Amino acid sequence: DADVTQTPRNRITKTGKRIMLECSQTKGHDRMYWYRQDPGLGLRLIYYSFDVKDINKGEISDGYSVSRQAQAKFSLSLESAIPNQTALYFCATTPAGRTGGTQYFGPGTRLTVL
């Protein structure tokens, strides 16, 4: 869905490198989320943001940080990448006022850490 875009779509990096994944949305939503998906597992929440000044940790935030640069932009950083951070990463958005409601997902970023 072009309303939520993620860059890069694929990335291969080495252990110890810092990497940033970016998410942009044109839906005008206040709430944005970062998830990771591993083979055979569901989506697990890393961080979420209800507005530009509100950042919250999800269930697996260790080793990650985020920045909400604007309403439309939410980036995820891996400070020092490690191989078990190899996964598919998704950004999602939701309108304000719909706590945990229907989320709209980006196409994903496939990250490989060697």
Partner 1 sequence: GESVGLHLPTLSVQEGDNSIINCAYSNSASDYFIWYKQESGKGPQFIIDIRSNMDKRQGQRVTVLLNKTVKHLSLQIAATQPGDSAVYFCAENTPSYGKLTFGQGTILTVHP
* Smallest separation (angstroms) from partner 1 to the CB of 94: 9
* Smallest separation (angstroms) from partner 1 to the CB of 114: 15
In the 8-state DSSP scheme, what is residue 30? S
* Smallest separation (angstroms) from partner 1 to the CB of 108: 5
Cis peptide before 8 (omega within 30 of 0): yes
* Smallest separation (angstroms) from partner 1 to the CB of 56: 8
Cis peptide before 107 (omega within 30 of 0): no
Give first-to-last CA distance, the chain, whole Å: 30
Q: Smaller CB distance to partner 1: residue 71 or 104?
A: 104
Q: Smaller CB distance to partner 1: residue 13 or 105?
A: 105
Measure the CA angle with vertex 37, ends 52 and 72; round to 5°.
20
In the 8-state DSSP scheme, what is residue 98? -
Residue ranges in contact with partner 1 by CB under 8 A: 1, 4, 33, 38-45, 48, 50, 58, 84, 90, 92, 99-108
Q: Smaller CB distance to partner 1: residue 70 or 102?
A: 102
